[in-house]
Amino acid sequence: RRRNARSRLGVLDIHVSTPDGLDVDVEVQVLRDEAMPERALFYCTNMYQEHIKRGDDFAVLSGIQVINISVLGYNHFQDDRPHHTFMLQETTQHITLTDVLRIDFLELSKVPKINKGNILNDLQAWILFFNATTEDKELLEMLKSYNEPLKKAVLRFEELTADEKIRAAAFQREREILAEKSRLYTAKKEGHMQGIQQGIQQGIQQGLALSAKKLLENGFSAEKTAELLGLSPEQMANLKQ
């Protein structure tokens, strides 16, 4: 049962509950977010505490398990593995304290290679599906024959992409995401250049301060030092500080 779904630019968040006490929050994050681990942990613990009210016994939490699945459109971990799972464990012997909280990260940018047209496992198959476009007809046909859930997903994908209105909305959303990525890149680049300029100015100021100090130590007056270095009285005062 899907409890709620929220959609923002570059983000799709779906919260699902099952009859056997499993709560799953699936978040698809297209744009880079360095605070993703903190967000995932916040969502996970929030889901868990929703199952207990003031005055309840902790026994009400028996059988409850919450899972956050963060599907990322970028590389967050510096390795080749597309899937990482985190649980509460003891740090020396890695004994699992409890399995009630679990956080999974799936990085779609780490697209697996298909050897001779063979899909190795379910994870690889779903990553290939999430990265597929309408142009990947051969791949989509291959995924249809992999298993029944993927076949249903591909058929639904083909049904949706055949609708002109939905295709237009998806295209517009993709344009917005690309525009946002471009803005973020430009802002980062401008910030980098600004940092370089500030560094240069700081270097110049430090160099002038050192030169002024040397001249003053060698008997030059403050006025003569300012004249030699091309500084105003105010700049000389700042250098002395």
Residue range 136-176, pLDDT digits in tens: 888 888 888 888 999 999 998 888 777 666 555 555 555 55
- pLDDT for the residue numbered 106: 93
The model's confidence at residue 86, banded by pLDDT at 50, 70 and 90, is very high
| Model confidence pLDDT, tens digit, residues 95-116 | 999 889 999 999 998 887 776 5
Instruction: Return mean pLDDT, the chain.
Output: 77
The model's confidence at residue 241, banded by pLDDT at 50, 70 and 90, is low
| Model confidence pLDDT, tens digit, residues 192-228 | 556 556 655 665 566 666 666 766 667 777 777 676 6
- pLDDT for the residue numbered 92: 93
Question: Is the pLDDT confidence value at 28 over 80?
Answer: yes
- pLDDT for the residue numbered 7: 46
Question: Is the pLDDT confidence value at 24 over 70?
Answer: yes
Pairing outcome for strands 2-8 and 11-17: antiparallel
195 φψ region: left (φ > 0), alpha (ψ -120 to 50), beta (else): alpha
Question: Is the pLDDT confidence value at 84 over 90?
Answer: yes
- pLDDT for the residue numbered 95: 92
The model's confidence at residue 236, banded by pLDDT at 50, 70 and 90, is low
